[in-house]
Amino acid sequence: MSESKKTRWYKDAVIYQIYPRSFCDSNGDGIGDIRGIISKLDYIKDLGVTAVWLSPCYKSPNDDNGYDISDYRDIMDEFGTLDDWKEMLAGLHERGIKLIMDLVVNHTSDEHEWFKQSRSSVDNPYRDYYFWRKGRGKDGKKPPNNWTSRFGGSAWAYDDATSEWYLHLFTKKQPDLNWDNPKVRKEVHDLVDYWLDLGVDGFRCDVITYISKVAGLPNGKFNPIQCGDEMFTHGPHIHEYLSALNNEVISRYDAMTVGEAAGVTIEQGLLYTAESRGELDMVFEFEHILSEAYFSLLPKKFNLKQYKAIMSKWQDGMHGKGWNSLYLENHDQPRALGRCTGDYGDKRKEASKMLAVALNLLQGTPYIYQGQEIGMTNCDFSPDEYQDVMVKTILGIVKKYVPFLKPVALKVLKKKARDNARTPMQWDGSEKAGFTTGAPWLKINPNHTEINVAEAEKDPTSILNFHKNLNRYRVGNQTVKLGSYRQFDKNNKKIYCYERAHNGKKLLVVCNFKNAEVPFSPPAEYNGFTAAAVIQNYPTARTLSPFSLQPYEAVVFEVDC
């Protein structure tokens, strides 16, 4: 398909992210699966989303829950079969919902056939599919450089078979692919083509900004926590590799791509997403979740002024040139409630709805992570309840080198652990939350007795019903899709107020981020205009005149001008 025929359907989309392991278990083994997803297709349709991003469902030994792939062309045993997957795809498409698959090609599993071959001998044809180096020091027992894994510790593992080290930016079971080898690029092109040919509508490209490493793999600047970033983030050939992937394969289909891009700046974001360049359609930047590194353990307090400045920078910077992704949650981030709202007390519903309004009326493609639509929250784990390899790696390092810091590490993990977002989906208030009939692979949040889909469906004022209405309002709305963006009162630390304007229509979005009453006056230029409040999270009637916003109140006015 030529660039000009690309429909850019993603600009009208709302995307729902499914983390399959935690979504719905159809056979009682405690692990979510594809038939579980099939049983919820009507729920997804009813939510008013238009596409699904499915976290990895390929064959995997599950060291990092599927982000370690051992066969790119088949489905993980626990999740079902390729036929189940095809049935799911057909079911989505029948309902007018597109499917985005996760593309994890910075690394494979160490159980992938390529790596098994690669590690077997120095002259195996697959040797250069990965990065193998001799160690430093007299006996070669020191890693080849100072790069660290994103999960902590050295990014190199020693392999006895050939007495060399291989690179892994994530766990030891996730060796990095060597994209400088044209055969690796060809393999990736072929597997992308395989899934597009089966009918998928696009890809979320996992840690894609890490695929090109600086030649010679030199030491990175010393940093006590993470080293090497500047040697492999937005590396020397990244744009060349991405445009080849797009030109040779993806652009033959009407498919979209979104790249995970920790640490990306607006300038780099434009290089990746400018339509004229044909690389990616959008990136997930990390600035607004206040975590510039891949994973920042240092808890940063949410600061509305800073958040507004970051969102505004991306809104202005991308307008008319690239395209934004809009997200607060995914399977790697703790839940947004609490993180972006402070202590919300008994105002969970109001706070959750307000966050949705503040984000989803910006320009870009909104992503809703499973459970966000019912206001799921972080979970209180005891140390042995965590399942995430990242948590285990961090606690292992703490135990070995700084055991006295364990209480501090546990305190930080309580807030930051990825397991917070991965607890099973809360379908109902029964013992296993309607997720499984067996023993769930990860703790179910005890608050499922109150926070669950069944309750939310019954309650007209639920977060779920609010999301449904917001999605229906957004999809097809030209002001939201195309309108200009302007922020008001940027120094206000309590209220986020912005305008979207297009073709004689304006939307004024007003959101109170505090669990307190806050006075609000419409911007002066709105004086004399009449407006209708089209979205509200309180029943109180609002007009375009000064009033006191209730805790976490959100109001959207539509103004004809």
- Residues forming the active site: 206, 260
Work out how close the CB of 251 gets to ligand GLC at its nearest, in angstroms, rounded to a whole number: 25
Show the CA angle centred on residue 144, arms to residues 142 and 150, nearest 5°: 100
Query: Taking Cα atoms as reference points, which of 155, 136, 97, 138 lies closest to residue 471?
Result: 97
Nearer of residues 66 and 263 to Ca ion, judged by Cβ: 66
Residue nearest to ligand GLC (CB): 67
- Pairing between β-strand 156-159 and β-strand 164-167 as defined by DSSP bridges: antiparallel
**Closer residue to Ca ion, CB minimum distance, 84 or 229:** 84
- Least Å distance, CB 163 to ligand GLC, is 27
Q: How far is CA 255 from CA 49, 194, 196, 346, in A?
A: 17, 13, 8, 42
Minimum distance of ligand GLC from residue 18's CB (angstroms):
13
CB of 31 or CB of 359, closer to Ca ion: 31
Which of Ca ion, ligand GLC, none has residue 132 at its interface (CB below 5 to 8 Å by kind)?
none
Binding flag, residue 33, Ca ion (CB under 5 A) = yes
User: CA 231, 237, 239 angle in degrees (round to 5)?
Assistant: 115
3-state secondary structure of 243: helix
Q: What is the Cα–Cα distance from 374 to 467, expressed in whole angstroms?
A: 9
Are 512 and 556 spatial neighbours (Cβ–Cβ below 8 Å)?
A: no
Residue 266-295 contact track with Ca ion, rule CB under 5 A, x = bound: ------------------------------
Backbone phi and psi for residue 485, each to the nearest 5 degrees, phi listed first: -125, 135
Q: Per rule CB under 5 A, is residue 84 in the interface with Ca ion?
A: no
Tell me which of ligand GLC, Ca ion, none is bound by residue 206, counting a contact when its beta carbon lies within the kind-specific cut-off of 5 to 8 angstroms. Answer: ligand GLC
Task: Give 22 or 145: the residue with its C-beta nearer to Ca ion.
Answer: 22
Number of residues that bind Ca ion (CB under 5 A): 5
Give the nearest distance from C-beta 372 to ligand GLC in angstroms.
16
Complex with ligand GLC: residue 84 or 206, whichever CB lies closer = 206
Pick the stretch among 25-33, 160-168, 391-399, 454-462 that binds Ca ion (CB under 5 A): 25-33
DSSP 214: P
Whether residue 272 contacts residue 283, with contact meaning beta carbons closer than 8 Å, is answered with yes
Residue 329 binding partner per list Ca ion, ligand GLC, none, with a CB distance cut-off of 5 to 8 Å that depends on partner kind = none
For residue 69, count other CB atoms closer than 10 A to its CB: 28
Nearer to ligand GLC, 118 or 393 (CB): 393
What's the one-letter identity of residue 401? Y
Total length of the chain: 561
Q: How far is the CB of 422 from Ca ion (least distance, A)?
A: 15
Q: Residue 71: beta bridge partners?
A: 59
Could you tell me which stretch among 19-27, 157-165, 176-184, 247-255 binds Ca ion (CB under 5 A)? 19-27
Cβ count within 10 A of residue 70: 21
Site of interaction with ligand GLC (CB under 6 A): 64, 67, 104, 170, 206-207, 260, 331-332
Specify the residue, 100 or 456, whose C-beta has the smaller distance to ligand GLC: 100
Minimum distance of ligand GLC from residue 208's CB (angstroms)? 10
Q: What is the largest CA-CA distance in the chain?
A: 80
Q: Are 46 and 157 in contact (CB under 8 A)?
A: no
Nearest approach in angstroms of CB 31 to Ca ion is 4
The listed partner (ligand GLC, Ca ion, none) that binds 260, CB under 5 to 8 Å by sort, is ligand GLC
Of the candidates 8, 37, 47, the residue with the CA atom closest to the CA atom of residue 471: 47
d(C-alpha 474, C-alpha 116), whole Å? 48
Residue placing its CB nearer to ligand GLC in the complex, 63 or 316: 63
Give the whole-angstrom CA distance, residue 126 versus residue 113: 9
* Closest to 394 measured CA to CA, from 90, 149, 204, 210: 149
Tokens describing residue 411:
């305190």
Residue 64 binding target from ligand GLC, Ca ion, none, CB below 5 to 8 Å by type: ligand GLC
Residue 29 binds which entry of Ca ion, ligand GLC, none, CB below 5-8 Å type-dependent: Ca ion
Query: What are the CA-CA distances from residue 230 to residues 223, 227, 243, 268 (Å)?
Result: 11, 8, 21, 14
**Residue 104 binds which entry of Ca ion, ligand GLC, none, CB below 5-8 Å type-dependent:** ligand GLC
**Pick from ligand GLC, Ca ion, none: which does 484 bind, CB < 5 to 8 A by kind?**
none
CA distance 554 to 233: 38
Shortest distance (Å) from residue 181 CB to ligand GLC? 20
Binding site for Ca ion (CB under 5 A): 25, 27, 29, 31, 33
